[in-house]
């Protein structure tokens, strides 16, 4: 544990978020075959065992697995022009969480994924416990910090007129200048 009690997650959270997809209804999902690679599994057979345990955990939690593990098939070429359907799943975040919890924790990728989901869960708990005023203050602080990063990057890129730069941002977001907003 580090001295400030903050857990640092190095990986695979960036990979996990980078393979996230958004469907036509705006709902996030992951495919099992891509998740398998991020979590350090080399064979589908072994990963399918993890999916089976995750589905059982879903059932034990009185959830319907078909709501979280949607069976899909991907057509792929296997050689000499032969195309075959490969089993796959469309997974929601809950399914990914269950997979991480039921994976082989001796794999560093699984240990990192378990830590990632624990942190995400705790962050959500903290967010839900905040009052509306605390949420506004937190959001304002986050915007302030992101603006500092943005202006620092802009300065490095050669921007010197930050008023004009900021106004261009408003025009891009709202099709109006700051004064009009």
User: What percentage of residues in the chain have a pLDDT greater than 70?
Assistant: 93
Task: Return the domain boundaries, the chain.
Answer: 13-129, 133-174
**Quick one: pLDDT band at residue 134, thresholds 50, 70, 90?**
confident
Average pLDDT (130-157) is 84
pTM value is 0.66
Q: Specify the length of the chain in residues.
A: 181
What pLDDT is recorded for position 3? 47
**Quick one: pLDDT band at residue 44, thresholds 50, 70, 90?**
very high
What pLDDT is recorded for position 2? 47
What pLDDT is recorded for position 13? 60
159 versus 57: the higher-pLDDT residue is: 57
């Amino acid at each position: 544990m580090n001295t400030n009690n903050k857990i640092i997650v190095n990986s695979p959270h960036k990979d996990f978020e980078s393979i996230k997809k958004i469907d036509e209804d705006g709902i996030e999902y992951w495919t099992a075959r891509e998740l398998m690679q991020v979590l350090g599994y080399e064979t589908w057979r072994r990963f399918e065992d993890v999916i089976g345990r995750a589905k059982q955990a879903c059932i034990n939690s009185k959830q319907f697995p078909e709501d979280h593990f949607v069976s899909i098939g991907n057509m792929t070429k296997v050689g000499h022009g032969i195309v075959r359907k490969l089993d796959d799943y469309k997974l929601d975040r809950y399914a990914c969480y269950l997979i991480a919890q039921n994976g082989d924790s001796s794999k560093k990728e699984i240990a990192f994924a378990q830590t990632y989901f624990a942190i995400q869960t705790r962050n959500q708990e903290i967010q839900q416990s905040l009052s509306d005023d605390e949420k506004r203050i937190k959001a304002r602080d986050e915007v302030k910090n992101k603006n500092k990063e943005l202006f620092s990057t802009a300065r490095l890129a050669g921007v010197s007129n930050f008023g004009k730069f900021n106004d261009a941002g408003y025009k891009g977001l709202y099709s109006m200048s700051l004064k009009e907003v």
